[in-house]
Structure 1
């Protein structure tokens, strides 16, 4: 082992179980941990996962999100952050919704979309630049799996293509 690395490791401070318990009791921590947007637990950050339907990729120009996903992973987080005005605009199915920023994780670009509720279906949609910036530029198609989560650190959605649909076989109809 490299001598410099070995020396550095010897210099690390290791906590006893009693010291760790004391920190937990006091509600503080001096441990350094790495995380993505505060996700220190190692959980999968992609809270909203969706296998795209044809309607998400066609002329309707919007991504449809289930009510439970939005309620559990967006509205709840916004409530905790005190974003009451945004919640009201989204829940008012008659209004324009709210403009949200969406960070494309793989491409390192940010776009603005509108999040709003569809009264007719009780679902939510992300609309606006969805068709051009995501479907066309990312070549999304039915069967692709995408992931989204709300970054509390950056106040925006983070978007990722998690899996591509299998390529059609040689005997698939055109």
Structure 2
């Protein structure tokens, strides 16, 4: 059977695309996450980007911050309602990123 590789899927909201320059991700994990730099490989454009992942304790969610707007929103022309996917690539120690559906 086919297993969907996209462990994190997100339909983008206005706040993911706005001035806050961050992508809010749902998290069901209760562990603390220390702020950490992560590499994100854009599979369509074959380009690597550096973002920071941290946990928002007040919301128990994770956020990707840094140059999210410049590296992904503007460069890829992301819009509200687009669905993106992320999954951890343990061989390359990075997240793989893809636009799964356009709004």
**TM-score category of the 2 structures, normalised to the smaller one:** over 0.9
User: What does residue 24 of structure 2 align with?
Assistant: 64
1:72-107 CA distances to partner (integer Å, 9 max, x unpaired)?
Answer: xxxxxxxxxxxxxxx86xx24xxxx10000000000
**Mapped partners of 2:16, 2:85: distance in 1:** 14
Unaligned runs of 5+ in 2: none
Does residue 143 (structure 1) correspond to residue 81 (structure 2)? The answer is yes
Larger Rg: 1
1:92-123 CA distances to partner (integer Å, 9 max, x unpaired)?
Answer: 4xxxx100000000000000000000122111
Does residue 129 (structure 1) correspond to residue 89 (structure 2)? The answer is no
**Mapped partners of 1:130, 1:42: distance in 2:** 31
Aligned residue pair count: 103
> Which of 48, 51, 58 is matched with 2:8 structurally?
48
**Mapped partners of 2:48, 2:61: distance in 1:** 24
Unaligned runs of 5+ in 1: 1-40, 72-86, 166-174
**Mapped partners of 1:64, 1:123: distance in 2:** 7
More strand by share: 2
SS in 1 for 2:79: coil
**Mapped partners of 2:27, 2:89: distance in 1:** 19
The one of the two structures with greater contact order (alpha-carbon pairs below 8 A, sep at least 6) is: 2
**Mapped partners of 2:27, 2:7: distance in 1:** 14
**Mapped partners of 1:56, 1:105: distance in 2:** 20
Segments of 4+ moved more than 3 angstroms: none
